[in-house]
Structure 1
Amino acid sequence: MGGLIPCFRNPPDPTIMWKVVFFTLIFFCIDSTFAVTHSLQYVYTGTSGIPDFPEFVSVGLVNGEPIDYYDSKVRNVTSRQDWMTKAVHADYWEQQIQYSRDAECEMRKSIAVAKKLFNHTEGIHTLQVMYGCDWDDETGATGGQDQYGYDGSDFIALDFKTMSFVAPVQQAVPTKVKWDSNRDRLEEEKVYFTGICTEWLKKYVSYGKSTLERTVRPEVSLLQKDPSSPVTCRATGFFPRGIVVTWRKDGVDMHSDVEEGETLPNGDGTFQITSKLTVKPEDWKMNSYSCVVQHNSLQDDIAVLLEEKNIRTNQGGVSWGIIIGCVAAALALVAVVVGVVLWRRSRTGYGKAGTSDTDSENSSQQQPKA
C-alpha cells in the first residue's frame, strides 16, 4: 500500500516543493519557559465524521500567539493580530486564501488515504500536521519541527539530525519509505526550515515586537472546593506563556502529590495555568507549604503561603473558571478538534499546499508559508 499523500510547499523559488499531511495533538502548544527563543508554527487539521464542524482548519502561531486563521466553512484567511493586519499588504491575504484552499483540497484526499492505511471506514477521525521553526535571538541557534499524527496519536515525524522520518506505527512505514527515498525533497525541506522559515520568523517578530515581547504579571491565588479537596494554585493573566509553578514544603520543591496542568490561553491574549496539591488539612497546618510562581515579568518570585486566610473556597468555581478560559481560547484560536485539539503564512504567501495523486510526488508549485 502506498504512503500518505504528500502536499508540497515552495519558497519564493517556485521549484521547491513541500507536503501537507496531518497531525492530531491534544491542545498543541510549544511551552518555552523564560525563552528568548521565538517560534513560528503552522497547524493544519483535517477531520472526518464530525457534523457541522469544519473539515479543514489552518492556524498560524508566532511565539504561541495566533496570527491567522482559515477553515473550510469560512473559506477566508483572517488576521488574528492587529500588528499582522498593519504589517502586510492586501495581496498577502489573497495569496493565503488560495494556498489555504489548495491545502483544504489536499487534506480531504489525505484523510481518505489515512483511513485506508488504518482500515477505517466510518466514525470520527482527525489528521494534523504541525510544522515550523524556532530561533534564539541571543545565540542565533535555529531549529525545526515537522510532525504528523492521526486520531490523536503520533504518525510520523522528521528527525532533523538524520534528515529521515521516524514512523512510530506500522501504518506509517510506507510513508516513511517513500519520503526517505526522495533525498532532493528532504534537502529542500532542510533549506526551508533552516533558512526561509527562520527569515520570516524574524520578520514576524519585528512586526509584532511590542506585542510579542511585552510582559504581564500573573495573578496568583489558592482555590479549594472544600476542605477535603486538593488545593489549586492558579496563575492567570500572564504573558509571555513561559512560567514555572511549584509547590514547596518547608522550602523544598515537591514532586509527589502535585498535578500540574497545561498552560492555557485566555481569551484576551494572556495565559493561565493551575497546579494542584493533594494534602491533608492537618498536614499543611503543621508544616509550611507554599505555591511559588516564577515568570520573566517578575523581579522576585511570587510565593503564596498555604494557610486558611489565603484560600478561596469556590464551589465548582475552579473548574468552571478553567473551562470558561479554555472555551474562550478555543473561540479565539478556533483550532479545536474532537475534544481539545489545536494544531500559519507570510508576506509573499506561505501556504503548505499542492495537488498529488495518492501514490505520486507531483504537485502544483506553491510558495510557502513562512
Structure 2
Amino acid sequence: MRPVLLLLLGAHLAYAGKHSLKYIFTAVSGDIDFPEFTSVGLLDDGQFDYFDSNTMKAVPKTEWIRQNEGADYWTRATQNLIGTHQTFKVSIQTVKERFNHSTGVHTWQLMYGCELDDDGSTRGYHQYGYDGSDFVSLDKSSLTWTAANPQAVITKHKWEATTYAVKEKAYLENTCIEWLKKYVDYGKDTLERKVSPQVSLLQKSSSSPVTCHATGFYPSGVKISWQKNRHDHDEDVDLGETLLNEDGTFQKTSTLGVRPEEWKNNQFSCVVEHQGKTIRKTADDIITNFESVPIGIIVGAVAAVILLLVIGVAGYLVYQRKKGFKPVSGSDDGSNSSAHT
C-alpha cells in the first residue's frame, strides 16, 4: 500500500519545498491497554493534532495550530471524530468476522492525505488496512476501489455502488490541498527551521552490535552510513525507520553487527549527513554503558516510542515498514471516512 500524498497547489506557498498533510485513524480490538480509537494529524510528518476515545476530545499538539484555530475548530473536529469512532467500532468487528478472528488483538486503519511538490505536482491517496496489511484502497483515476484480498471484495462492491469514491476524490483534490496550504502558512516558521542531529554510538556490551543513533534533527531527511577503513561498508547493517520525537524533531538508527575483533583490526565509522553537514563517529566514541548515555538521547528515544503508540499501535508500525506509504484525515471536516465495510 503506497501512500500517495496529494497537495493542491493554489496560491504561492509561504516557502518552496515539498509538503504533506496526513491523518491516521486507528481502531484497536482485543485485550490491550490502549484507546479503542485514535486519530493523529501530521503536517510534513510532524504531529499537530490528536484525538482518542478515552478523552473524546480533539486537541492541538503545536503552537502554530493552537494560535491560529479557535474553539469552534476543535469542537467541530471532536464531533466528527466521535462519529468516526463509532463507525470504526462497527467496521473492525465486521472485518474480524470475515477473517474468522474472534480472539486476539487486531487493528483497523485508515490512512489518507495529500502532498504538494515544489514543482507544483500533487498526489493523493485514501487507503485502509487490517492488522498491518493492505485491505482496500481508492483508485482516484477510475473512481474504483482496489481489494487487496478476498475478504475485501465485499467492501469493494459495496462502496462502488455508492458515491464514496467521488466524494473522496473531491476531498483529496480540493479540501485537503486548501487546508494543507493554510497549515503550511500557519507553521512556516517551524517548518523552515534546521536543527542538526545529536549523534552517538551505543553498545550494550563490548561484544554487542554497535548502533549509530542520530536524534533531534529537523527536517527529517538524513543519511546514515558506515565506513570501514574510509571505504563505504554496507554489510551486516540494519537501518531503522525515521521516528518522530515528541518535540517535533526526528531520530533514526543504523546498527552494525560485526565481531569485536573486526572493530579492533579495522577503522569503522558512522557517517551522518543532514542539510549539508556531515558528522562522523568512530570507535573512540562508542558508549558501552547505558547509564552514561546523555539524557537528551534517552528522552528523545522514549518520546518517540510513546508517540508511535499514540499514532496507532502495531498497525502503524507495520505500515511504516511498507516503504513509501503515508497517511491523512482531519479537522478540516475530513474526508467522508464514515463508510461502512
Q: TM-score, normalised by structure 1?
A: 0.77
Q: How many residues are matched?
A: 319
Partner amino acid for 2:178? E
Partner in structure 2 of residue 9 of structure 1: none
> Which runs of structure 2 are paired with 1:250-289 in the superposition (5 Å)?
250-289=229-268
Structure 2 gap segments, 5+ residues each? 6-15, 320-326
**Distance change >3 Å, CA 161–CA 282, structure 1 → 2:** farther
Q: 2:131 and 2:296 mapped to 1: Cα distance? A: 28
Distance 2:152 2:250 in 1: 35
Q: Is the 8 A contact 1:43 1:60 kept in 2?
A: yes
The alignment yields a C-alpha RMSD, in angstroms, of 3.0
Residue pair 2:132, 2:316 contacting (<8 A) in 1 also? no
User: Equivalents in 2 of 1:189, 1:340: separation in Å?
Assistant: 22
CA contact (8 A) 2:107 2:315 kept: no
Partner of 2:313 in structure 1? 337
Instruction: Report the counterpart of residue 221 of structure 1 in structure 2.
Output: 200
1:127 is aligned to 2:108: yes
1:301 is aligned to 278
Conservation of the 8 A alpha-carbon contact between 1:262 and 1:273: yes
Deviations 1:23-66 (A, max 9, x none): 9x9xx9x9xxxx93211111111111235532111111111111
1:83 aligns with 2:68: no
Identity of aligned residues (%): 47
TM-superposed CA distance for 1:249, in Å, is: 2.5
- 1:144, CA displacement in angstroms? 1.4
Question: In 1, Cα distance between the equivalents of 2:289 and 2:109?
Answer: 38
Aligned-pair CA distance for 1:188: 3.2
Q: Which runs of 5+ in 1 are unaligned?
A: 1-22, 359-370
Deviations 1:65-121 (A, max 9, x none): 111111111011110011101111221111111101111111111112111211222
State yes or no: 1:54 paired with 2:35: yes
The range that moved more, 191-200 or 207-216, is: 191-200
Give 1:323 deviation, angstroms. Answer: 7.8
- How many Å apart are 1:157 and its aligned residue? 2.1
Are 1:193 and 2:172 matched, yes or no? yes
Q: 1:210 to 1:164 in 2, by over 3 A?
A: same
Matches within 5 A, 1:160-171: 160=140, 162-171=142-151
- d(CA) in 1 for partners of 2:190, 2:71: 22
Give the structure-2-normalised TM-score.
Answer: 0.83
- For residues 165 and 356 of structure 1, what CA distance do their matches in structure 2 show? 13
Shift of 1:187: 3.4
Point out the structure with the larger helix share. 2
Distance 1:231 1:338, change over 3 A: closer
Query: Contact (CA 8 Å) 2:147, 2:153: kept in 1 or not?
Result: yes
